Amino acid sequence: EESSAPSRPRLYLVQAAACDPIARASRDGADEVTPLTDPGETVAYSIANPDPPSGTRALAAARETGGAVVSVPDEEILDAKDLLATEAGFAVEPSSATALAGIRTLSESGAIGSEEHAVAVLTGRGFGVAEGQPEQAGVETVALADVRDRLREIV
């Protein structure tokens, strides 16, 4: 007999490939996250932590929900940042765009199906790093009523 209780969503974590201790632990099948001694430079500098304090708990949470941990290269992060700005009207910093880059990677791999819903938390405004006004940075304003459709177009 099937339960009428809703299922828990799968938790996916996304890190920048240059500094991805949780994703490395996941790929290696490790139970604990070990600090990186060789982190690289990344455009997603605000999430580049070679020794995340809750890394092992985050890894466990992703596994317990049937999710996963992935890492994405800077080129994909910047592409996602551009897509969010030009197609959906969200100006975010690269660290925030990492979420969309991860969703795209997970969609391409089949981990997230085309009929499934995905939620990305976008934090960190991009206007602080854009030159001049948003219009000069190639950012289009999107009506709130159109946001859902615009986001679906870019994934």
Domain with 33 in it: 12-154
Instruction: Decide if 6 is inside a domain.
Output: no
Instruction: Decide if 128 is inside a domain.
Output: yes
| pLDDT tens over the chain, length 155 residues | 555 656 889 999 999 999 999 999 999 999 999 999 999 999 999 999 999 999 999 999 999 999 999 999 999 999 999 999 888 888 899 999 999 999 999 999 999 998 999 999 888 776 555 444 444 455 566 788 888 888 888 76
Look up residue 39 and give its amino acid: P
Instruction: Decide if 4 is inside a domain.
Output: no
56-70 as b/e, with b when 16 or more CB fall inside 10 Å? bebbeebeeeebbbb
Instruction: Decide if 99 is inside a domain.
Output: yes
pTM, rounded to two decimals: 0.78
Domains held by the chain: number: 1
Instruction: Decide if 62 is inside a domain.
Output: yes
- CATH, residue 145: 3.40.50.1100
